[in-house]
Structure formats: C-alpha cells, structure tokens
Structure 1
C-alpha cells in the first residue's frame, strides 16, 4: 500500500490495464498523469506515464531490429557510453528503455558466443597433416638383411609335414 492507501503493484500490466490506459490517454491527454492514475485505480502517475511512453504509445517503433541498427547502437555506445536517452535520439521511435534493453541483449549474445567458442575443442586444420609413422621408422628397409633360408627361422623340415608329390 502506498502512503495514501492506494495499492501500486509492481506486477506487469495486464492486457486489460494496457487497453484502459490507452483509452484514458486518448481522453485525458499526455499531460495529466495524476488524473490518469486516479481513473486507473491501481497504478500511480509514474507507472502510467512510463508504461504508456515506453510500451504503448502509437509512435513507438516495435519492428524488429536490423543488423544495421544493431551496429549503429554498438558504435553509439562506444562513443557515448551508457547515455541511453542521448542514444535514443538517434533512433526514430525507440525509447531509452528500448535502447538499453537491446544493448543488454546484444551483450548477452556476444558473451554466449564467446563462451561457446572457448568450450569447443580445437581441431587440426585441414591443411595440417600429422605424421602417421615417426620418421625414424621410415628408413630404407631394402638395406635390411633378408633371410635366404626360412628353415633357419623354424625348427622343422616342411617336406616332412606335407606330401609334395603328385
């Protein structure tokens, strides 16, 4: 409860409250937020003004952000820092809240991509080749001694085991 006894919830505005606020602004205008809040009943003047100006006003640009807009936003933040109201003036129909929220989203995406890249294993590039056999074993094998008589390797006479006569 507020000091004057009216509840001022911090809950999200409902669709019914949004519609009621739009109608009240059409009837009462943009300069009497205290009166608008009295008719709303559950919201104070600041809540009504902020909700309308940041989310409901017909002049707001609610179209998706383009890649060009994102790049422009990042460049402006690099130039001016977090001066959202100043930066918002460079975007037609975007509020300081829109600008701040979009920048925060871009930074979260950038961080997620950075973490993803760090967690991926590094693979050998296609043009890099790992040796399959160490070079010390690739000596010319033709220089090695060859056994002329295999009988020296085995302790039996093969002609005793098989009949080669036909």
Structure 2
C-alpha cells in the first residue's frame, strides 16, 4: 500500500518525537502500515540526512568499483556514500547498468575499455543466462552470490517478459 503525503507527514512527526525509533510502535499509529514499510519509507525516502542531489561522476565511479569489489551488498556499499541509502545505491547502479546497455545497443556492439576501471561496453556473446524457476527452494541470494563471483558483473538481471529466466551480463 502506497504512502500518501498525509502518511509521510505523520511518519515524519512520529519519528521526530522519539529518542529511539521503535518501528513497531510507529506502525501501530499508522493505518495499514507494517514496521518494515515504515522503516523503509523513512530510511529510503524521508530521512532528512539523505542526499536529494544528482550523483557525481566520482560517486558513479566509486559505486562501480565498490560493486566490483563487494558485489550486490547495497547496504555495505552505501556506507561509502554519505547521505545515500542502500536503496539509493542499488537504484543508481541499475540506472547506470541500463544506460550502459542502451549505449551498447546504439554503438553497434563495439567494445570500449577504459584504464580507470569504469564501465566497459558489453558484447552479446558475453551474456550468460541462468534459469530461475518460481517456487524453487534455492535461495535467490545464493544464486546472485554465485553469479557475482565472476569479476566485473555489470548488469545484475533482466526479467524477460513471459519467461522465468534472467540474463546476467559480464565484462
């Protein structure tokens, strides 16, 4: 259930009144909101400590380098970015990844490399597909961790319409 502007205002007021934030107590005062929904709304969107400014090139480079070093551990990566949540970091990475894929398609699959460790263009033959079946007892995080053992993963996954498979792109 989406947060309305009234919900946001109420959540901000409740959080500001507490010395130590108790998401269970807060959720009881919010209609139809779980503690997790309240916490995530605050941490990812409403917290005044979050940056609401454009990402710099330096931040983009650091994000890609930390992703290559740590993998898709967004909250860990977020520790390197003052005022950015794990969700902000993940969303920015996905934006960069989509941009990279779009640039790849418009440049006739020509590979570009850079000495500074920034994103390289990907070739179609570098795409590895892994089938993931709904209801499989495998832990999705285990699958992601397995895929990220390969250095230089650029695109985490892409759900293909009408299919139960994801594509992983490597450099």
TM range (shorter): 0.5 to 0.7
User: In structure 1, the residue corresponding to 2:108 is in which secondary structure?
Assistant: helix
Q: Within 5 Å, which residues of 2 pair with 1:19-98?
A: 19-98=9-88
Q: How many residues align?
A: 110
Q: 1:99-131: per-residue Cα shift (whole Å, max 9, x none)?
A: 111000000000001011128xxxxxxxxxxxx
1:16 to 6, 30, 46: 6
1:116 to 81, 96, 106: 106
Q: Return the alpha-carbon distance in structure 2 between the equivalents of residues 30 and 96 of structure 1.
A: 21
User: Structure 1 stretches (4+) deviating beyond 3 angstroms?
Assistant: none
Q: TM-score, normalised by structure 1?
A: 0.62
Query: How far apart are residue 29 of structure 1 and its match?
Result: 4.4
Unaligned 5+ residue runs, structure 2? 110-171
Unaligned 5+ residue runs, structure 1? 1-8, 120-166
Higher alpha-carbon Rg: 1
Aligned position for 1:148: none
| Paired residues of 1:28 and 1:36 also in contact (CA < 8 A) | no
Q: Return the alpha-carbon distance in structure 1 between the equivalents of residues 85 and 26 of structure 2.
A: 21
Q: Return the alpha-carbon distance in structure 2 between the equivalents of residues 58 and 30 of structure 1.
A: 16
Q: Return the alpha-carbon distance in structure 2 between the equivalents of residues 20 and 29 of structure 1.
A: 16
80-89 or 96-105, larger mean C-alpha shift: 80-89
RMSD across aligned C-alpha pairs, in angstroms? 1.7
Q: Return the alpha-carbon distance in structure 2 between the equivalents of residues 29 and 39 of structure 1.
A: 17
Q: Return the alpha-carbon distance in structure 2 between the equivalents of residues 30 and 62 of structure 1.
A: 25
Q: Return the alpha-carbon distance in structure 1 between the equivalents of residues 33 and 88 of structure 2.
A: 22
Q: TM-score, normalised by structure 2?
A: 0.60
